[in-house]
Amino acid sequence: MSLDVHAVVEPGRLDVRFSLSEGETLAVLGPNGAGKSTLLDVLAGLVRPESAHVRLGDATLVSTGHDARDIWLPPHSRGVALLAQEALLFPHLSVRDNVAFGPRSAGCDRAEARRIAERWLERVDATGLADRRPRRLSGGQAQRVAVARALATEPKLLLLDEPFGALDAGVAPAMRLLLSEVLSDRTVVLVTHDPLDALALADRVIVLDGGRIVEEGATREVLLNPQTEFTRLLTFGLAAG
């Protein structure tokens, strides 16, 4: 699904405008407090902006602060999935039931939800974990299951908030490879502090500072030719590497 965003949240907190084509991945970079998490919260429906127009495909998710009647779709009606750096799996459910939870909530019967869960567990190479409880998973295993759970609902938009932030350095490359495979045809907004995540996964990059976009463009163009001090510091050594 294509995505069109114009959102303002409090003076100085967020004021952005950008568009994504269907199947594109956008990486969002910026220093702490730049507005990255606020942007994800607006898209997920967790923050109601003062003025905004957010459209996903043919559906208007939010339209506020305009002359026309306000529109506000609640989070569960948006077709948007959020994957955070912590897997946040339901501890009382098996891995299979965690992944089946979304399809069940959407109206699938138990057998169909189970088939969907097993298909996605196979996609993320976690079939052997299906009967385990989350407490028996490593960090990398739990994040694989979290990816399967997010995608089992077939979201129109996937939001990734530092998805590798809680993983050991040795696990992150395999997770990047996994996501590059399963996200290739999806519309994705990825918040990250790691330029390697952007290079591996994103078609385009925006850099936020003070709630505003200060750099944007194709991923390699932005990261290899930085125009702001933050981006230069973040990507130091990439060109040489």
- Look at residue 120 and tell me if it is in a domain: yes
pTM above 0.85, yes or no: yes
CA distance 50 to 35: 15
Query: Contact, 219 vs 28, CB < 8 A?
Result: no
Q: Which structural domain range is residue 134 located in?
A: 89-154
pLDDT for position 137:
95
pLDDT for position 66:
66
Helices 110-123 & 139-151, crossing angle to 10 degrees?
130
Q: Please give the average pLDDT of every successive group of 10 residues along the chain, which has 241 residues.
A: 90 90 95 93 91 93 80 92 89 97 93 96 93 94 93 94 80 84 90 91 95 96 91 74 50
pLDDT for position 68:
64
- Look at residue 187 and tell me if it is in a domain: no
Strands 71-72 and 59-64: antiparallel
- Look at residue 28 and tell me if it is in a domain: no
CB-based burial, 43-59: b 16+ in 10 Å, e otherwise = bbbebebeebbbbbeee
- Look at residue 95 and tell me if it is in a domain: yes
Helices 139-151 & 172-182, crossing angle to 10 degrees?
10
Write the DSSP symbol of residue 2: -
How many structural domains is the chain composed of?
A: 1
CA distance 68 to 51: 12
- Look at residue 136 and tell me if it is in a domain: yes
CA distance 9 to 198: 25
- Look at residue 114 and tell me if it is in a domain: yes
- Look at residue 62 and tell me if it is in a domain: no
- Look at residue 140 and tell me if it is in a domain: yes
